A and B are shown apart, each in its own frame.
Chain A
């Protein structure tokens, strides 16, 4: 009996040894629920001689290639990561892909659901077993390129010619294009109840707030989340400008700005928040759809991924527009937002690099982008797909397109960017902040930038 007890105890001790072995938490960081980096400082125009050889194999559609591009690869096994909602569509697209290249033997092409938000984290965990072709949000590009786990795009000229130049620019790091643009829609815009706010009022922030206040409704703008509150800094002229290397550390670079004017803009924002206290609320964007449902909300700044619930909540009353302007000392300034893209990347450790490149080219090509715009409502980056009826008819996609012209690309953003930006927004919004205290705002802006650049 004693021995049996001892065996049990020993077994338990063994079991506790495994206690720490669970999968580590997959924290998504403090930024947004979406991606963050799009390269902004380099252009993708210069191409080397050997890149042309790959481009020469692409036919006039822009997404099919000559089978010789596969080289010696045969009996191909590939793994594809796509977000949950897109898996079934991607499977159909892969069937079409296999049918087209009937001369090549495909052993299997698996599609596995994997969110775009943490695709890079998962890939970095173990590149060897990760997907060969994967979707990811633009903020992770920098991480992937730094770790060297993503391959350069083989069909450079084809891809850069077919897509929105902004998405191509954002996918470029140090002169090399690393990813196939997939969407051009990852941002936020103004959603409003058109019985409360008129299209004309939606053009200015003051108009929106006045209309909401008059109707006794709220306006939601999440000031505590760096993904949204960076709008204040960007509008103030403090825009991000890629990363720079100082010593052996990469630091966030900002454009040159006039500190005096920047502070004035921040003060204007803070003054508006105070003036419309009770109307302007700083809540998570998840509260927007429910606010419309309960008719307590007049307008909000919401992400493109929440469009469907917002439309369901508002029905005919749904209104969408680019972000409004704000009046700073008599001058109307357009709000500048953060804008991201989604990309398809090729794993650097893929066993079939050529096949992976060809598949990525197809999945990011015109045909597939048009299908996704029609079926999933994703805003395409392909110039021809952008002319498709499904895209031009959508008020939301139109608002997003307009906003994308007034935005900083969500690429090459330091990990330290998000929480100081969130703090900046929180402080502008805080009750005890005096919007006329210029010294306070000057110091706040200085400290925020110092924190982002890790200069302390």
Chain B
């Protein structure tokens, strides 16, 4: 279709055309995505190969001190007069060896089995006390720590070799290595970013990355209530936990629960995101319309709902929607006006699947729309007024200005926000758990109710049934879903492809 043809279509046809092209392009976009991953992997291996090559050639070209650096850290630097750096490298090696002897080795050596020594009980005085054997959890945790430390030391090892060779070359060219003071000054100037970021990066590794690796590994173990440390051991089970979620033949109930909940999770995320987005946009447009009086008042009124903490609103809503709650009392009172004598007791959250899901989506609007209004108002005020002026001069209708100026502008600016709120809704624990606790209950699901999403199910599995392995597997799957969707949408969005538009 040519540009002219496209321009002659009516808005619905245009929409249909765009819709069609999106799906036509989708396979190509997905393909591009995986091709990108493939390229990255190739690059990675090429880099490793180059590393090995350099490792070899440096050894051949190096003098005796550089060669000795391959076994003893820092010798090359010490020999070339870069004393402080050589000492740091040497100290790292010594500390690492001490760490492995006194701490790391006892755990990492059992990493393959996660422990084999069982707990026994002995008599001590009048009481019988347990003598604990291996603790699988500590073995797993400290093994991860040891692996991370080993990788760090390996990086230091490579740096030590490179440094040794660099200084050897400098000496051969008749230059002297820089002094310690000079290097320190460098850290406040040319390498200032390293000074600043090393501490945060270290903290992120310790507090975010390490636990993350630990949790991911748990998904491949049978850590559950029957294998609770310290008295019991758990061990590797490969992909059994993932298999349980997909195996319709052997674990039909878990698989059915997982697949149904995944469906509802995605439906929920779409509904929650777009109801908030569209309704919030409409309210923001109404407030920002020319001629509306007391704009500040209306905006403030909506912002006040943000001032009440979200969980408080949700718990209150939960009470109000109970069979004897405020909503039912109100409905009863109203129905009395029309001659009804019985009490109305609608169980909004506990009985019908459709009613409970609808109620949750509506309540979510209550807590979510004010945020959309806030950001939308800001964006609306930012649209250059001259665009509207020219549109008016050209005789465009208000609807036309909306579809041609306002909407494209807003979607352009808010696509990244839409993605984050979509992912946020996939993991929207608060709304579901505080409102319905996953109910209405059902005998069709394993430890889940009709409104449970994957994260609330994960919570029940880990907190109530202590199925840590299964819960970790679900966590990984949720991550994969979120990451895939976010990457594909973001890479196809206008904000990504055409950053310069509207600026």
Contact = CB atoms under 8 A, between A and B. Distances in A.
A416 B448 CA distance: 11
Contact of B446 (A11, A69, A454): A454
A16 to B, nearest CB: 8
Contacts of A454: 446
Given A29-B464, A354-B125, A249 B130 contact: no
Interface in B16-69: none
A1 interface: no
Interface of B: 119, 121, 123-130, 132, 192, 196-197, 199-200, 203-204, 206-208, 211, 222, 225-232, 251-254, 322-324, 342-343, 345, 350-351, 439-444, 446-447, 449, 459-460, 463-466
A53 interface: yes
B207 A18 contact: yes
Contact of B127 (A18, A27, A353): A353
A354 B127 CA distance: 6
A10 B203 contact: no
A250 B225 CA distance: 9
B386 to A, nearest CB: 34
Contacts of B441: 224, 419, 422-423, 426
Which residue, A21, A349, A415, has most C-beta atoms of chain B within 10 A? Answer: A415
Contacts of A73: 125
Contacts of A224: 350, 439, 441
Interface residues of A, number: 72
A444 B345 CA distance: 25
Interface stretch (A85-93, A144-152, A310-318, A328-336): A144-152
A115 to B, nearest CB: 16
Contacts, number: 159
Interface of A: 3, 6-7, 9-11, 13-14, 17-18, 20-21, 25, 27, 29-30, 50, 53-54, 57, 69-73, 124, 127, 143, 146-149, 151-152, 154-155, 224, 248-250, 278, 281-283, 287, 346, 348-350, 353-354, 356-357, 415-416, 418-420, 422-424, 426-427, 430-431, 444, 447-448, 450-451, 454, 456
B207 A21 contact: yes
B125 A30 contact: no
B355 to A, nearest CB: 12
10 contacts: A13-B197, A17-B204, A146-B231, A149-B130, A224-B439, A281-B324, A349-B132, A354-B126, A451-B446, A456-B254
Nearest to A148: B231
A436 to B, nearest CB: 20
Nearest to B463: A27
A343 B268 CA distance: 44
Given A353-B129, A415-B225, 13 more contacts: A3-B192, A30-B464, A69-B125, A71-B126, A143-B228, A146-B226, A283-B322, A349-B132, A418-B464, A423-B443, A431-B351, A444-B443, A448-B443
Contacts of A149: 130, 230-231
A197 to B, nearest CB: 21
Given A148-B230, A148-B232, A415 B446 contact: no
A70 B124 CA distance: 11
Contacts of A350: 129
B201 to A, nearest CB: 8
A127 B443 contact: no
A416 B465 CA distance: 6
Nearest to A18: B207
Contacts of B126: 53-54, 57, 69, 71, 154-155, 354, 357
What 3 pairs between A and B have smallest CB-CB spacing?
Answer: A148-B231, A456-B253, A27-B463
B244 to A, nearest CB: 11
Contacts of B342: 278
